[in-house]
Amino acid sequence: MPGIDGLETLRRLLARAPDTRVVMVTAFASVELAVNAMRLGATNFLRKPMTPEALRGAVAGALAERPARRLAEHRHTAAQPESPSVEAVTLNGFRILAAPVRTDAANGEHTFRVKHFAVGTESTVTVSIDPEAVDRVARLSRRSLKPNGAFWRLQAERLLAAFLWSEGRVPENGRLTVQDVSRDDLEVANAWQFD
């Protein structure tokens, strides 16, 4: 779009009409763009080309959601950055629910509820943090980020979202393990302030 991008359009739209439910559609999708759109208040995010089923599922999910204004009010009253009110959405119709979940502090395990809107199923997935990945991040970033903290929860959620997108299903045994982080995430670890 000339002069303005989709995220700025979303910001302006929700500033004028906070209860609007927005389904973002783009040909240039990335996990980062989808996460940013959801953080700003988009209800769903689709990549072109899409199937009619994917569009119907996105619209059905948007209609089932709380309005953006109530989400924004919840964000301002949230006490912990570890439990954001943002729900991650994959481009193929999976939603990682932001409902209360258990985290096993001793083992650095993060548990998520995953819903597939098109099928209507809900599953639980536990993502473990490999101690070697924790050591590598600590060594390279010179920061000690606890495996049960917000940084590793974000890494766990990203791994789960990538798996759901690439495989189109939840893991058969309901478990995944974060074994490494990207160079970009190492830079995030250097500046991390929430743990």
pLDDT at 176: 95
17-64 pLDDT, tens digit each: 888 888 888 877 677 777 777 788 887 777 777 777 777 777 777 776
Q: Where are the alpha helices (DSSP H) in the chain?
A: 6-16, 31-40, 52-64, 68-77, 131-141, 150-167, 183-191
Mean pLDDT of 84-90: 59
Question: Which is more confident, 56 or 10?
Answer: 10
pLDDT at 195: 65
CATH number of 1-77: 3.40.50.2300
Pairwise CA distance, residues 60 & 192, whole Å: 36
pLDDT band at 138 (very low <50, low <70, confident <90, very high): very high
151-194 pLDDT, tens digit each: 898 899 889 988 988 888 899 999 999 999 888 888 888 887 76
- The domain locations on the chain are 1-77, 83-195
CA atoms within 13 A on the CB side of 132: 4
- Domain 83-195: which CATH number of 1.10.3470, 3.30.70, 3.30.160, 3.40.50: 3.30.160
3 state SS of 88? strand
* pTM (predicted TM-score): 0.58
pLDDT over 90, % of the chain: 14
Residue 180 DSSP symbol: -
Q: Which range, of 36-40, 122-126, 147-151, averages the lowest pLDDT?
A: 36-40
pLDDT band at 101 (very low <50, low <70, confident <90, very high): low
Which range, 14-18, 141-145, 176-180, is most confident?
Answer: 176-180
